[in-house]
Amino acid sequence: MEISELGEFGLIDRLTKGLEPVNASTIKGVGDDCAVLRNRDTDILVTTDLLLEGVHFDLTYVPLKHLGYKSAIVNFSDVYAMNGTPKQITVSLGISKRFTVEHIEELFAGMRLACQLYGVDLVGGDTTSSRQGLVISITCIGEAPADKIVSRSGAKDTDLICVSGDLGAAYMGLQLLEREKVASAGQKDFVPKFQGKEYLVERQLKPEARRDIIEELDKAGILPTSMMDISDGLSSELLHICKQSDTGCRIYEDRIPIDYQTAIMAEELGMNLVTAALNGGEDYELLFTVPLHCHESIEKVPGVKVIGHITKPSLGCAMITRDGTEIPLRAQGWNPLAAQPEG
């Protein structure tokens, strides 16, 4: 059977079917942003990401330092998405011959900067040669009090659906970078046109993990009922939460937070803005649900917007457009196992 028939999540479901933990410390395995291991009253969170050159990044326009920074951030984001604090990372690198020591130092400088800013220790890894391109595998270990862990499966009917920041900008940044890459082909001294679109480029190349939101929620005394980070697109992530919580949802098109640079870029490229915001990945914003009674307190948390509510499962998952039409949500997010070149 072709792997593309199953897709990433189908393959994972199939491979991990019937896995039952044998260790008392294994609280949660496959299926959330992190695995959860219990050690007395503290939970250890573990998450890992594999980034391959040519699949996840293009070194034509991604500076190595930014790549290092982003590789670390995407893992921190998974730990925050469980309401934890990232504490350690291990970094494994596969390095092909075209990279020098200085290149790898640049990459590491980005990782070390991310670690420094987020208070994370780099504690180990593996370094080897690669025949084709750069391979980056990072595992992040985090901590959280056992009673504060937030998984994907706790959303309840009438809960409010919230997102932090704005959506679609990282995707538009990628489109912009790709456009300028094409325009630059064969030209010496090419100057890419990023003016007025700096935010999009930054969102794509140097995303941040929303530690601030986790801290603000804690300060406001709000413990989300479910949470995850938006790496594959709002639509795909919301379907994960609803599936794992056995609920439906309604979100409102006019509530989805979008930056004006994202809107201008969509216009320029003739793309549907809402599609980009729903399905564009790599924003690393937090998607979470809170009980209805938190309505007033959540409105006061800076950088958070309520975009809809959780429903009974029978109602399915849908978006209400500006003209009142209900359209079903589909997972059109980035599928890393579909439509890749021959290898």
Least distance from a copy of itself to the Cβ atom of residue 29, Å:
4
Least distance from a copy of itself to the Cβ atom of residue 153, Å:
15
Least distance from a copy of itself to the Cβ atom of residue 131, Å:
4
Least distance from a copy of itself to the Cβ atom of residue 227, Å:
17
> Which of residues 2 and 189 has its CB atom nearest to a copy of itself in the complex?
2
Least distance from a copy of itself to the Cβ atom of residue 238, Å:
21
281: its two tokens: 């990945």
Task: Of 71, 28, 57, 132, give the one whose Cα is nearest residue 334.
Answer: 57
Integer CA distances (angstroms), 16 to 10, 19, 20, 115, 193, in order = 10, 6, 9, 32, 46
> Which of residues 229 and 259 has its CB atom nearest to a copy of itself in the complex?
229
Query: Going by C-beta distance under 8 Å and a sequence separation of 6 or more, which residues neighbour residue 57?
Result: 51, 67
> Which of residues 165 and 207 has its CB atom nearest to a copy of itself in the complex?
207
> Which of residues 92 and 275 has its CB atom nearest to a copy of itself in the complex?
92
> Which of residues 42 and 321 has its CB atom nearest to a copy of itself in the complex?
42
> Which of residues 128 and 187 has its CB atom nearest to a copy of itself in the complex?
128
> Which of residues 19 and 327 has its CB atom nearest to a copy of itself in the complex?
19
> Which of residues 102 and 296 has its CB atom nearest to a copy of itself in the complex?
102
Least distance from a copy of itself to the Cβ atom of residue 243, Å:
18
Least distance from a copy of itself to the Cβ atom of residue 155, Å:
21
DSSP state of 269: H
CA atoms of 47 and 29, how far apart (whole Å): 10
Query: Going by C-beta distance under 8 Å and a sequence separation of 6 or more, which residues neighbour residue 82?
Result: 32, 33, 34, 36, 45, 142, 144, 149, 150, 151, 227
Produce one character per residue of 216-253: b if its CB has 16 or more CB atoms within 10 Å, e if not.
bbeeeebbbbbbbbbbbbbbbbbbbbbebbebbbbbeb
Least distance from a copy of itself to the Cβ atom of residue 232, Å:
12
Decide the pairing of beta strands 35-39 and 26-28. antiparallel
CA atoms of 318 and 309, how far apart (whole Å): 10
184: its two tokens: 């630059």
- Residue ranges in 185-300 assigned as alpha helix (H): 198-205, 211-219, 234-245, 260-269, 273-279, 295-299
> Which of residues 37 and 222 has its CB atom nearest to a copy of itself in the complex?
37
CA 52 remoteness from chain centre:
16
Task: Of 64, 72, 138, give the one whose Cα is nearest residue 107.
Answer: 64
Least distance from a copy of itself to the Cβ atom of residue 158, Å:
31
